[in-house]
Amino acid sequence: MKKVFSLLFTAGILLTACKKEKTSSTGVSMDPVDTTAALKYRAAFDNGGYGTTTGIAKIYSKAGAYSLVLDSFSVSTGPDLHVYLSKEMQPINFIDVGLLKTTSGRQVYNINGMPDFMEYKYALIHCQQYNHLFGSAKFY
C-alpha cells in the first residue's frame, strides 16, 4: 500500500510541477532600431507601485505600421510582466503588446493594428498574473 501512495504522490508532483512559469529574461537586450522609421511619440517611465522601472518608451512609424521601442530600459524582475499600450495609467482598457522580452536594455515590439495614440497614451509594464503595475510612461 505504501508503494501505491508513493506512486500517486510522485505522479501528482510530476504532473503539477512540469509547467514552466512565464518570466522575462534577465539578460540585457540590444534590439536594433530601424533608423529609417519616424519617431512619433516618446515618454519616460515612472514607477508604478511595484518594483522600479526606468527608461524611455518610443513609438516609431514606418510604412503604415507602428513599433514600440523600450530604450535604456530597466525594470525589477517579476512574474508574467507584459508590455501594454493603455488608455489609462492603470490597465483598464489596453492592448497587450506582448510578454516583456528582457528586464533591461533596448527592445523592440511590433504593434498590431493602428491604435490611436491620443487614446492609447500610456505604455505600461504590468504583471498580468497578479495585476501589479510596475511602470507607466505617458506619450507626448
Partner 1 sequence: MKKYILLIPILFSTAFSFGQNKASGKINQFTDLAGAVGSSRGTVALSYVHNWKLGKKQKWEAGLGARLTTAFGTKQEHTTAPARLARGTTVPFVIVFAEQKTENWDTLTVQRPLVNSINISANFGYNFSQQWSAGFNIDLIGFTFGRKTSAILTSNGVTQTESVAKPASFNALLTGDLDYGNLNSEFFIKYKLNNRWSIRGIYQFYFSEYKTTTIKQIAPDGTEVDRFRQKGNNFGAGISYNF
List the one residue from 38, 63, 92, 118 that touches partner 1 (CB under 8 A).
92
**Total residue length of the chain:** 140
Under rule CB under 8 A, residue 23 binds partner 1: no
Q: DSSP letter at 22?
A: P
Amino acid (one-letter) located at 39: L
Question: CA 38 to CA 56: how far, in whole Å?
Answer: 16
Q: First and final CA of the chain: distance in angstroms?
A: 68
Cell matching residue 29: 537586450
User: Using the rule CB under 8 A, which residue among 76, 95, 98, 139 binds partner 1?
Assistant: 95
- Please identify which residue in 2, 19, 35, 36 interacts with partner 1, judged by CB under 8 A: 19
Dihedral over Cα of 115, 119, 124, 130: its sign: negative
Residue carrying C-alpha cell 530604450? 71
Please select the residue that binds partner 1; options are 48, 51, 78, 91, rule is CB under 8 A: 91
- Of 21 and 32, nearer to partner 1 (C-beta) is 21
93 binds partner 1 (CB under 8 A): yes
* Residue 1 makes contact with partner 1 by CB under 8 A: yes
**Residues 118 to 137: which contact partner 1 by CB under 8 A?**
128-131
Phi, psi at 5, each rounded to 5°: -60, -45
Instruction: State in angstroms the smallest separation of the CB of 107 from partner 1.
Output: 21
Q: Which residues bind partner 1 (CB under 8 A)?
A: 1, 4-5, 8, 11-12, 15-16, 19, 21, 90-96, 113, 128-131
